[in-house]
A and B are shown apart, each in its own frame.
Chain A
Amino acid sequence: MIEFKDIHKAFGENKVLKGINCTIPTGSVTVIVGPSGSGKTTLLRSVNFLERADSGEIILDDFHLDVEKATKADIHKIRQRTAMVFQMYHLFKNKTALENIMEGLTIVRKVPKAAAKEKAIYFLEKVGLGHKANAYPHELSGGQQQRIGIARALALNPDVILFDEPTSALDPELVGEVLEVMKKVAQEVNSTLVVVTHEIAFAREVADHVIFMDGGVIVEQGPPQEILNHPKEERTKQFLSRYISLVEYNI
């Protein structure tokens, strides 16, 4: 379970998060949607302290963290219990696909090399890239890189995996393969998944819970049928009408 309590964050004068409160149940798939600039990325990054919120609490199961008082050790601990999949993949460029996955296992988790390698191969195969083990990131397509990014996160078996628009940097024809992998992951993995995406169809099919954010607040949240099909708030309706008509059109 991951819980946000009154999270605030400003960049200078720009108030980006204005009191976020919500609970994401263990093992659920939660999709966060919302217009550009609404603070989705900032919220996601505040969980693993890539962005440090100004005030509020972040609770990860038994681990309560007042963001104002969080120490280096706290931050290190929460990072060890979470993993992130980035919009731009951010695979380690000086490491092969296999090494990208092994890195966190051997260096952070202190898994012996042989065991880490075995595990890395298992997850490479899970994302359908067993044959690319020795390829460097520049030798892989965007879709392949992102699948390895997902494998890197999965291999750590974290409590929470944070996805920040994992498909929006991809060419349209590569989006499908990554969404496929994510669906599979959602079904098989015990980790809590928090996914920021504009893929409404994916949210409808895979999410247990949808959060709509706008202007630094959660406007409404609930099961996907409710939020995506019968939104109550005007802002949600507006956002979705723009989005869904566009998406539905493409299909």
Chain B
Amino acid sequence: MAVPVFSRRASVSSPVPESSLGRGRRDIESWGRYPHGAHRRVLRAWWSDQVPACLANAGPASILPGGLRRSYGDSCLNFGRDLLDCTPLDRFLFADFQRGILRCEAGVTLHEILRMVVPRGWFLPVLPGTAHVTLGGAIANDIHGKNHHRQGSIGRHLRQLMLSRSDAPELLCSPNSEIELFRATIGGLGLTGVILWAEMQLKPVSSPWLLARKSVFKSLDEFFYLTAQNDDSEEYTVAWLDGFARSDPQGVFFSASHAPAPVENHSGEASLQRHAFPVARGIPGQCLNPWTIRLFNAAYRNYQERSTRTKLIHYRSFFFPLDSLDNWNRIYGRGGLVQYQCLLPEDPGILRRLLAKISISGQVSFLMVLKRFGNLASPGILAFPRPGLTLALDFPMRGRRTLQLLDELDAIVLPCGGALYPAKDARMSRAAFQSSFPNWRRFRAAIDPKCSSSFWRRVTEW
């Protein structure tokens, strides 16, 4: 006997259900917690087969796929319209550990990927400063890491990806098919459609431990010397600048390569999962002021000068030092922060002018990170990394004053052929974007007519 069956299979291909992330719709923020705004709806894609229906039902220029919102500004936001949360798409689809090929859904985090591949002797070719980003988000921003001079951005390591667009439910894009869409989707800011999954080439490593070195430098010339010396021999290089150095910036230069032989505890992946320390809500923004930032920078400098020069360090401590604090962005208080990551020509004069401008303004950056990009070009049409220096600055958001300073920095950066990183941006002008991403019109042709974002409207619409 069969139990009566009423409308069977109702939900298998049902449209994507609606949800509100976090504390209701109004609260959706990016990592910088600036700008603020409200979304109309937040949908969630639990399975990849729900995505095509969701795009088909969306209105024109109404929807934006999203990951873990680790972008600082508004490129992962879509105020007044809809977001499609892709983080539940978190399944691994294929792996070949002979050849180092991994295919997984777009919502899988880099953290999960590392947990899967590191014990098998493989590594992600490109890592940002946090492991808590999704693969989809990493592709849509064509992320770069401390080994840009060796490996370029993540787009170079993609073998293929599956894109869902409102006009094509599933479209396989690779360097050989749908080439233009493939290149547009790398660094495509979520505007070319929803990435369902991607396949990449991993990098073999001898061990998850790194042999890290550091050198204190007292002038920019020394920095250039260290970069020139180390970029050939070392896999990872990056420099920290002291936020208060006056005439000539000082700082610490870090370099690292994978330790040659497997250190014991090769698969210590699980045991190294320390518990992240949560940062409380509602910390007043005044906690970070020029005074406390100065104190922090001095203490950090002091620590770096005293501690050992060469050491064996686990990759997680090297790449993701901030991941041990959950939601560290809350330290900046309600007002949030703006990050300013720019690309500059390799000219010490320009860097000095930039730092002088900041110093005069009386505003200080909590962290200043400097790195030289290599000249491996990204396949992405809108790619940000290009040969030159990249400098990243974090400012507490203090309204008009902060925005004014950043406009003044633009006036130094842009005329000399610089650019700003969209993943970190919340305020660049239309003219700034269009002049520093000259391919934007070509990119625009590849946009899915159903997709849009607050960032895109800000930098392209009149």
Partners in one complex: no
- B-contacting residues of A (Cβ < 8 Å)? none
- A-contacting residues of B (Cβ < 8 Å)? none
